[in-house]
Amino acid sequence: MSAAEDTRSNDNIQAEIALLKRQVAACTLILNNEGILGYSGHVSARLPDPNTFVIQPIDTPRSDLKPEDLITMDLDLNILSGPKGEKPPAETVLHAEILRARPDINSVAHFHHDLTNSFTLIEEGDLRPVKNHAIRWRNGIPVHPDPSHVAHKYQGEAVAKTLGECHAMQIRAHGQIVTGESVLAVLTDSVHFVENAVAQYNAQAIGTLKPLSEADMDSFDKEFKRGRHLDKLWRYYVGNLRKAGIIPQNWELG
């Protein structure tokens, strides 16, 4: 590769990293505004070097996150760059171990949504796919039995093991983890994961639950265009928060 090509390719990588940081900040602001991710919780994104990712600092308000606040780390939790003196969240290891275990995952959200979590607090409280978009979780929504903060490597590895090949999970009496192929995917899937839990809660309040059947899911899946759907929700929520002045107009978000 010539020196000029090398500079160009480095410029492209830096542009991609900058875009991912803006997307993580925007996704966090949206999930916070939707009441899904509160005063705790975090979104991460894998960077072009697949052994590295970005995540927000531990105490930065989720309602006021900016791309330049984000910390760049490797999967062994070494800080590579970020604002001076800032520390990553205590549960960063869950992001690192899921990204390590699952090369297909490029973004992870962890949040503590109480109504969704209430399904882990009752006997026979399995969260099931009940709304059409919940076909994303047709291969299961595992529940991690240990409600502790995921603060140590062995705990992160255990969480990744519980997730297995699934796309979302609950941590009993604690919160949720939603994973996706991109930050846009994690936004849409987090919204639908909570919608599905609310729908199940409401349905069970009025009668006996009738979850989606395999035939229902096959039928919905046949016509579903995931890429288009992810773009649609991203544009909808980004547009709303731009209008509200929460996402700055000058953040180019892809």
Binding footprint of Zn ion on the chain (CB under 5 A): 91, 175
State the minimum distance, in angstroms, from the CB of residue 177 to Zn ion.
9
If the CB atoms of residues 91 and 157 are measured against Zn ion, the closer one turns out to be: 91
State the minimum distance, in angstroms, from the CB of residue 117 to Zn ion.
10
Q: Look at residues 129, 117, 112 and name the one whose alpha carbon lies nearest to residue 192.
A: 129
Query: How far is it between the farthest Cα atoms of the chain?
Result: 68
If the CB atoms of residues 30 and 171 are measured against Zn ion, the closer one turns out to be: 171
Residues in the chain: 254
State the minimum distance, in angstroms, from the CB of residue 74 to Zn ion.
21
If the CB atoms of residues 63 and 204 are measured against Zn ion, the closer one turns out to be: 63
| Coil, strand or helix at 178 | strand
State the minimum distance, in angstroms, from the CB of residue 57 to Zn ion.
16
Alpha carbon separation from 126 to 38, 146, 153, 201 (Å, rounded) = 24, 16, 27, 11
If the CB atoms of residues 91 and 189 are measured against Zn ion, the closer one turns out to be: 91
| b/e map 156-172, b = 16+ CB within 10 Å | bbbbbebbeebbbbbbb
Find the residue with minimal CB distance to Zn ion. Answer: 175
> Could you give the dihedral angle defined by the CA atoms of residues 37, 28, 225 and 253, in that order, rounded to the nearest 10 degrees?
170
State the minimum distance, in angstroms, from the CB of residue 63 to Zn ion.
18
HSE of 198, CA atoms in CB hemisphere, 13 A = 9
Q: Are 200 and 192 in contact (CB under 8 A)?
A: no
If the CB atoms of residues 34 and 231 are measured against Zn ion, the closer one turns out to be: 34
Question: How many Cβ atoms from other residues are within 10 Å of residue 12's Cβ?
Answer: 11
Alpha carbon separation from 173 to 14, 88, 169 (Å, rounded) = 39, 23, 12
- What amino acid occupies position 23? Q
If the CB atoms of residues 111 and 237 are measured against Zn ion, the closer one turns out to be: 111
State the minimum distance, in angstroms, from the CB of residue 157 to Zn ion.
16
